[in-house]
C-alpha cells in the first residue's frame, strides 16, 4: 500500500499570511495527488487534482505543486473561511490512501 505522510498535523497562522502543507508519498505516484478541504461539520471538497490543477470554483489563492513523491498545498492571503482540515490523497493505485490531515486555524 502507498503511505501518505502529511505535515504538519496542525497549523496556526494570521489572516493574510501564506501557509504551506506538505505530503510525502511512500513511492512515486506520478502526480496523481489530490487535495481536499473539510470545513467543520461538512463533507470534504476537492480543491486540487493532478497535483497542481485547481478544481472549478476554488479561489486562486490555493495552489498545488510537486511531483514524484513530494507534494505541497499553498494557501496565499489566508482568509477566515479557510479554517478547515486539509487532506492529501493519492489516486494512483488501490487502496486510494489519504494523508492524516492538517488542521488549519487562525491566530
* Binding region for other proteins (CB under 8 A): 34, 36, 43-46, 49-50, 55, 87, 89, 91, 94-101
Least separation, in Å, of the C-beta of 33 and other proteins?
8
Give CA separation, 105 vs 3, 38, 49, 58, 91, in Å: 26, 13, 23, 19, 27
Least distance in angstroms from the C-beta of 40 to other proteins: 12
Cell numbers standing for residue 96: 486510494
- In sequence order, the β-bridge partners of residue 22 are 7, 72
Cβ 100 to other proteins shortest distance, Å: 5
Identity of the residue, 24 or 46, whose beta carbon is nearer to other proteins in the bound complex: 46
Amino acid at each position: 500500500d502507498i503511505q501518505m505522510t502529511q505535515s504538519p498535523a496542525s497549523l496556526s497562522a494570521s489572516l493574510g499570511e501564506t501557509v504551506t502543507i506538505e505530503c510525502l508519498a511512500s513511492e512515486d505516484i506520478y502526480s496523481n495527488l489530490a487535495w481536499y478541504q473539510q470545513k467543520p461539520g461538512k463533507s470534504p471538497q476537492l480543491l486540487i487534482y493532478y497535483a497542481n490543477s485547481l478544481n472549478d470554483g476554488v479561489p486562486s489563492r490555493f495552489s498545488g505543486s510537486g511531483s514524484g513523491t513530494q507534494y505541497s498545498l499553498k494557501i496565499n492571503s489566508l482568509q477566515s473561511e479557510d479554517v478547515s482540515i486539509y487532506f492529501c490523497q493519492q489516486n494512483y493505485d488501490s487502496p486510494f490512501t489519504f494523508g492524516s490531515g492538517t488542521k488549519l486555524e487562525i491566530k
